[in-house]
Amino acid sequence: MKKSRTIMLIDMQSFYASVEKARVPSYENKPLVVAGDPERRSGIILAACPLAKAYGVTTAEPLWQALKKFPELIIVRPHMQEYIDVSMQIKRIIESFTDLVEPYSIDEMFADVTGSLHFFDDDPIDLARQIQNKIYLATRVVARAGIGENKVIAKLCCDMIAKKIPDGVFHLQKSELHKYIWDKPIRDMWGIGSRMQKHLWKMGIMTIGDIARTPLFKLRNKWGVNGEVIWRVANGLDDSPVTLAAHNVQKDIGNGMTLPRDYSQAWEIEAVLLDICTEVSRRVRKKGLMGSVVSIGVSGADFDHPTGFHRQTKLDDPTNITTEVYDVAKKIFHRYWDRQPVRRVSVSLSGLSSAESYQLSLFDDKEHQRAIDKVMDDIKDRFGDISILRASSVTSAGQAVDRSAKIGGHYK
């Protein structure tokens, strides 16, 4: 008989806001939010502390809307490098209890503590509280822990129970799903978006328990594999292990950016495309890969009347040469652009393969282009991302200099 595992999903409460309060102690008892820069049109709430949430402030709402609810909010611009550093510190703390730690996001981590329980009298609640306490003493960040026999149950437990109780720790048995989870509305289950919710409502499925009790073939006939996924989640079924390599397989490498204003001129958007293609190609080269599919996405600013497109092109031969990727991206752009103002641009390379062997060409001087890319990569590695730039990057449209000060679109 297969031995039952003990898995935790450890989640950090209001992570960005908690890190800011630890960084500046005078913020401790004040309602604080972390938000993007309003002047760059990215004034969205990224995190709100519990005091701010008490005034109705929610994550992902516009900053102006939050200020209407409580004008005296403390507003802090994100410090992404600090959050990454604290997240890595927390990971190391959890690893002092078990070597099986799998980051799920910057503020959530799975931990398989099956092999550690005998040190804690086989009491996962006690172990979770010790992890909680160690994280708080080191970082001043409050952790919550959902505990179950697999990752799905641990996640459901954390999201729906542990986050909502004072001590933030709960152990959910699979046999108790009907008691604690199944009466919850389907929108509460992670993996169910608003569109899926509407489709399920039309089928008479209102609660997570309704999903669990629906015959699997009905959901599979409707949504294929996705139908089975939501059925398995609702029933707490998951065979995937907590593993260090869970996120190592990469299907594509890409980047996107929201522009500081509407770009209406072709040359402006081309400058942004070149900046993104330069960054994407460099990342692909750094991983020793090439890509055979170039994808580009373009969208406007008006979400009520969306404009733009997302298209891709398959290459004859895989590449990681910046100019080749840019030439393809530019052709896609000019073919599908509707001449409407552009607010967001993204480029990615997929169909990844090893760069150790590639097709030689008698007619294209690709070796010369590879040599140029290598020199530019070496200079950037030694002296920084903006130590060498293409001329278009320093025009009014270029974004390379601004992005060098950011991580994930937010200032470091």
- Binding site, annotated residues: 11, 107
Q: Which residues in 292-316 are b (16+ Cβ under 10 Å) and which e?
A: bbbbbbbbbbeeeeebbeeeeeebe
CA dihedral (393, 394, 395, 396) positive or negative: positive
Phi (first) and psi of residue 267, to 5 degrees: -65, -30
Binding residues for Mg(2+): 11, 107
Q: What tokens appear for 14 in the block?
A: 């209001």
DSSP string, 236-285: T---PPP-TTTT---SEEEEEEEEEEEE-SHHHHHHHHHHHHHHHHHHHH
* Residues with a known catalytic role: 108
- CA angle 93/94/95 to nearest 5° reads 90
Best CA proximity match to 54, nearest among 80, 37, 38, 72:
72
∠ CA 140-142-143, rounded to 5°: 130
Q: Under DSSP, is residue 324 helix (H, G, I), strand (E, B) or coil?
A: helix
Angstrom distance (rounded) from CA 100 to CA 109: 10
How far apart CA 149 and CA 170 sit, in angstroms, is 12
Count CB-CB contacts under 10 A for residue 187: 14
What is the 8-class DSSP label of residue 342?
E
SS3 content of the chain, % helix, strand, coil (to 5): 45, 20, 35
